[in-house]
Structure formats: C-alpha cells, structure tokens
C-alpha cells in the first residue's frame, strides 16, 4: 500500500472533486435563479423595504473561484501525501457545511434545498473518506526523506 493510493484516499479525492463540481452547478443556478433567491431572502424580513437586497452574483462567483482553487491546491498536496492537507481540507469542508446550513436558514427555493442536502451528504462523505483508517495509514507510509527540514 505504500506506493498505491488507498481506496479511501482515492474516494476522498473524487468526493472532493464532486463537491467542487456541485459548487459550480450551485453557483450557476444562483446566477440563473437570482430573482428567486432574492425573493427568499426578502420573505419574512421585517426590514425588507428599508434594506437593499444583496447582489448575490459577485459574492457567489468570487466564493466559487476562491474555494474551488483552494480545494484544488489542497487536494494536490493531499495526493502528494502531505498529512497536513487532510486537516486543511477538513477545515474547509466543515466551513462549507456551516455555510450551507446557514443558507438553509433563509428558506431558499426547493432546488437550492435539494442542492444543499446533496452538498451536506458529500461533505460528510469527504470527511469519512479523509479520516478513514486506510487514509491515515496511506499518509503515514509516505517517504518524506527528501523533504527539506526546518531548523537545520
């Protein structure tokens, strides 16, 4: 198992890629269904008339670019068997899950509720794959003898 990637580590990579792809789809739907999202944001707000609704498109696009690029870089470090990348991906996925739960709080349209549920399931699957016993063994078996050591 030292040279071949563990099945759980491979699953973590593919599930993270699926999470990125789902984020792209959600961002595209956020642009297409912008009016529906703004209606959901305004409904139930007492200050809806006095507060200007947020412009969602720039926020969605910037968040997608930043998070997708961050995840791609972290996955590459993970694939190179850097154990710290597993922790960084975990923190990012947990932050995405918390953001998804916060989004559900405003009562988005049904399409976005479905995408959010799928996202939360993918988040959980990524975390399970990342912290699977075989993934840990795969990361521990990495040969780090060629790495530059700090403090020498």
Q: Tens digits of per-residue pLDDT, 117-136?
A: 999 999 999 999 999 999 99
User: Which whole-number Å values give the CA distances from 132 to 10, 57, 86, 126, 136, in the listed order?
Assistant: 11, 37, 11, 10, 7
- Alpha-helical regions (H) of 53-82: 56-79
H or E segment to which residue 50 belongs: none
The C-alpha atoms of residue 148 and residue 95 are separated, in whole angstroms, by 31
CA 70 vs. chain centroid, Å, equals 9
pLDDT digits (tens, 9 = 90+) for 56-86: 889 999 999 999 999 999 999 999 999 999 9
* Confidence band for 1, pLDDT divided at 50, 70 and 90: very low
Token pair of 152 as six digits: 């020498």
The C-alpha atoms of residue 63 and residue 86 are separated, in whole angstroms, by 21
Contact status, residue 71 vs residue 19, Cβ threshold 8 Å: yes
Reply yes or no on whether the pLDDT at 147 is more than 80.
Answer: no
- What pTM does this model have? 0.83
Reply yes or no on whether the pLDDT at 2 is more than 50.
Answer: no
Token pair of 18 as six digits: 């699926």
The C-alpha atoms of residue 141 and residue 118 are separated, in whole angstroms, by 33
Single out the residue of 99, 106, 102 nearest to residue 36, CA to CA: 106
CB neighbours of 31 closer than 8 A, spacing ≥ 6?
Answer: 57, 60, 61
pLDDT at 143: 59
């Amino acid at each position: 198992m030292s040279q071949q990637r563990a099945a759980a580590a491979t699953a973590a990579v593919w599930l993270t890629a699926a999470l990125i792809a789902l984020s792209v789809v959600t961002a595209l739907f956020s642009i297409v269904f912008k009016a529906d999202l703004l209606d959901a944001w305004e409904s139930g707000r007492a200050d809806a008339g006095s507060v200007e609704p947020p412009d969602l498109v720039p926020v969605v696009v910037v968040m997608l670019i930043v998070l997708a690029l961050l995840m791609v870089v972290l996955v590459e470090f993970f694939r190179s068997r850097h154990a710290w990348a597993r922790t960084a991906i975990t923190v990012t996925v947990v932050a995405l899950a918390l953001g998804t739960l916060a989004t559900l709080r405003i009562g988005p349209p049904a399409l976005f509720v479905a995408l959010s549920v799928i996202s939360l399931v993918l988040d959980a699957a990524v975390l399970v794959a990342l912290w699977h016993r075989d993934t840990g063994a795969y990361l521990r078996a990495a040969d780090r003898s060629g790495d530059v050591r700090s403090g020498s």
